[in-house]
Structure 1
């Protein structure tokens, strides 16, 4: 291979071949990038709360949030790689994430543990809604592989919502008091 051939390989567009129509690639990759930006925002907020949680349930909340953050982070690579597999591109920077994220940051100096868990529950519920919308988009375009991945992400996210809900719910002893 000569230098000219090498240069053309480096400057070739990132268009992975796909049997999906170009509008499907654009729409699905764009939606995946928004999910990915939300996942990074949710990951960071979950780690923020993991690092700053305090109080009598510190250990339980600290471990719960670490487990949930790891699960969220684990999904990010699959989201980005799915966008690439279908012929799209994906996020390139923190700034790109900031432009696309819909889950709001929390930069407060102090948040009570129950407020942390309630906020994360709402954010995860928002993520479920977004995931369902992208699943519908995949169905419209016949992208069963992306839809299948999203079904797993919905299940994982609903589990996080459930755990956060149950963790903040008043127990039976509190009702009788």
Structure 2
């Protein structure tokens, strides 16, 4: 009987049974992990802007960003758990999020409310693109369960885009 290393035993302990196959596990879990990093980045930026918004529309923007932040955060657990369900692993640290995320942080001391909403609008539009890319990976391996979840997350992101767009439009 061949001996296994501690690392091999640990990796085996984290393998969740799946019928998707090794390539599907690798590609889907990897795509979900990238998506999760971006979702955390979007969440923190949304909360940052929620905490620091100011101006004549403070209450409306503050409440909208709080609602959007809660929705974004709610998806993080589902994304991570889905990566585990398909047999993979996912994020383990803030450092890994930073190394993996594609959405840019905003560390500015002051951002106008209009610029906050415009930046979040663009980030949510990019998130839709990322979601569609992960959906394509799922389609490649016939992972209908993950694809179905992603379809709901796309719908949620499209709603956020709609609200941010309407809040930034100039009505004349």
Which TM class, normalised by the smaller chain length? Answer: over 0.9
Counterpart in the other structure of 2:32? 32
CA-to-partner distance for each residue in 1:53-96, whole Å, 9 max, x for gaps?
Answer: 00000000000000000000000000000000010001000001
Give, in angstroms, the shift of residue 21 of structure 1: 1.2
Distance 2:138 2:110 in 1: 40
Q: Distance in 2 between matches of 1:84 and 1:138?
A: 15
Deviation readout 1:9-41 (Å, 9 max, x if unpaired):
x84531001000101100000000000000000
**How big is the shift at 1:106?**
0.1
Matched, 1:163 2:136: no
State the match for 2:78 in structure 1: 78
Query: What is the CA RMSD across the aligned residues, in angstroms?
Result: 1.2
Could you say which residue in structure 1 is the equivalent of 2:126? 126
1:53 aligns with 53
Structure 1: distance between partners of 2:61 and 2:159: 16
Aligned residues: 164
Structure number with greater Rg is 1
Matched, 1:135 2:150: no
- Give the match's secondary structure for 1:76: helix
TM-score of the superposed pair, with normalisation by structure 1: 0.90
Query: Matches of 2:23 and 2:140 in 1, distance apart?
Result: 11
Query: SS of the residue aligned with 2:37?
Result: helix
1:102-121 pair list within 5 angstroms: 102-121=102-121
| Other-structure match for 1:66 | 66
Distance in 1 (CA, whole Å) between partners of 2:49 and 2:131 is: 23
Residue 3 (structure 1) aligns with: none
Q: Give the gaps of 5 or more residues in structure 1.
A: 1-6
Deviations 1:120-141 (A, max 9, x none): 0000000000000110110010
